[in-house]
Amino acid sequence: MAVSGFEGFEKRLELHFTGEDPMGLRRLEFIALEQVLNAVNCSIVSAVGNCFFDAYVLSESSLFVYPMKIIIKTCGTTQLLKSIPCLLGHAFELGLSVCGCRYTRGSFIFPEAQPFPHTSFKEEVLYLEECLPTNLCYRKACILPSKVCHSWHVYTASDHYMLDQVPNKFTIEVCMTQLDVALARRFFRRCGDHNPGDVAGKEMTAATGISNINPCALVCDFAFDPCGYSMNGLDGAHYSTIHITPEDGFSYASYECVGSMDNYDEIGTMVQKVAHIFRPGTMSISMCTPQLDDVDVCSQIANSLKPVGLICRSCRIEEFPATGSLMFQTFTPQSETVNSGQKLQNSSHMPWRKML
C-alpha cells in the first residue's frame, strides 16, 4: 500500500423528504446545488436526467436528485456531511421536511488524511446527531466488521412516516480494492489524448465492458486526467454508478445500483459482471432491502462470484429501523487462506433506539 494517495472509498449520504409538490427537490436551482457541493468541496462535471430523476457526475463521484430523495456520494477528502445544513435549508424553502437519513462508508485507505467530521466514525455520528432534526427519532449506528476486508459503517435515522414505508427496491454497494493491474490500466488516459473528459469516458465505457452491465441504461460517463473514471447510468427510475481510482498501490473501484425487488434474481449476474471487469483482490457487497431472505441472497451472490475466483469469507446481517435488512459480505480470491469463518453471522453492536 502506498504511504499516501487518493482516497477511493466513498462516503454516501441519502436523505428522504416529504412534501406536497410532486417536483420536490428537482426544483432546486443549479446555484443551490453548487452551494451544497461547495460545502462538500466538489463540483459538477456532467449531468443528465429523465422524467424520474437527475444524475450528476461530480469531480469526486456522484449526485442523484429525485423529487423526494437526494443521494450524494463523494470520495477523496471531501466533507460530505457538511452538505446537510445547506440541503435542509434549501429543502425547507421548497416546503419539504426531512423524514429519513442513511449514511454509509467503508474503511478509509488513508484515514489520517480525512478532515472533520470524517476523522472517525464516532465524530461522524456525533455530527449527524447534531445536524438532523429531532423528528428523526429512530436512530441507529453500527460498524459491520470483517477480518479479511474493510469494515462497513452505517448510520440511519427516520421518523414515524418512514417507519411505515416499505419500498419495493434494493440498494447494492460494491467496493473493490487491489484491482488487477492490467485491467486497471484501461482507466488511464492515453499519452497525447486531448479529448474532452466525456469523449474519453465513452471510450473507456465501451472498451472495458462497463456498457454490458446494464445495456438498457442511459450512461453519462467521464474520464479524468491523467487517470480515473466515473459514470452514472439511468434506467427508468433506477440508477447505477461506477467510480474508479486505478493507481497501483491504492487502486479502488465501486459499483452501486438501485433495483426493483421484482428483478431480485438478476443480482448474481450483475455482480459477476462487475467482478469480471476489475478482478479485485478484495471485494465487499452491501445490500439493503426492506425484506431480506438471508440465506437465499447470500448464497446467490456467493455462487455467482465463484466462477471469477472469489470466495465468500463472511456474511453479516443487521436490521435498521425504516431501512430494513442490511447484508454485508466480503470476498477474497480462492487462493487466499483466512482464519475467519464463512458462516452467516448477525452483527449487533448498537441497538436502535427511539430518541426521546
Catalytic pick from 83, 146, 230, 286?
230
46 versus 1: the higher-pLDDT residue is 46
Would you state the pLDDT for residue 169? Answer: 87
Would you state the pLDDT for residue 255? Answer: 98
Stretch among 78-82, 207-211, 219-223, 336-340 having the lowest mean pLDDT: 336-340
Question: Does position 346 have pLDDT exceeding 80, yes or no?
Answer: no
| Residue 232 cell numbers, joined | 452514472
Catalytic pick from 42, 46, 61, 175?
61
Would you state the pLDDT for residue 321? Answer: 85
304 is catalytic: no
Tell whether the torsion through CA atoms of 213, 276, 300 and 106 is positive or negative: negative
Catalytic pick from 10, 14, 124, 318?
10
Q: Are 157 and 100 in contact (CB under 8 A)?
A: yes
Would you state the pLDDT for residue 354? Answer: 43
7 is catalytic: yes
- pLDDT tier at 293, thresholds 50, 70, 90: low
230 is catalytic: yes
Stretch among 48-62, 158-172, 191-205 having the lowest mean pLDDT: 158-172
Q: Are 283 and 172 in contact (CB under 8 A)?
A: no
Q: Are 19 and 8 in contact (CB under 8 A)?
A: no
Catalytic pick from 42, 75, 101, 142?
75
Question: Does position 81 have pLDDT exceeding 60, yes or no?
Answer: yes
- CA dist., res. 28 & res. 9, Å (int): 28
Would you state the pLDDT for residue 5? Answer: 83
319 is catalytic: no
Catalytic pick from 46, 243, 256, 288?
243
Question: Does position 108 have pLDDT exceeding 50, yes or no?
Answer: yes
Mean pLDDT of the chain: 90
168 versus 205: the higher-pLDDT residue is 205
- Residue 263: partners with Cβ closer than 8 Å, 6 or more residues away: none
Angle (nearest 5°) at CA 116 between 111 and 122: 70
Question: Does position 263 have pLDDT exceeding 70, yes or no?
Answer: yes
158 versus 354: the higher-pLDDT residue is 158
Would you state the pLDDT for residue 272? Answer: 96
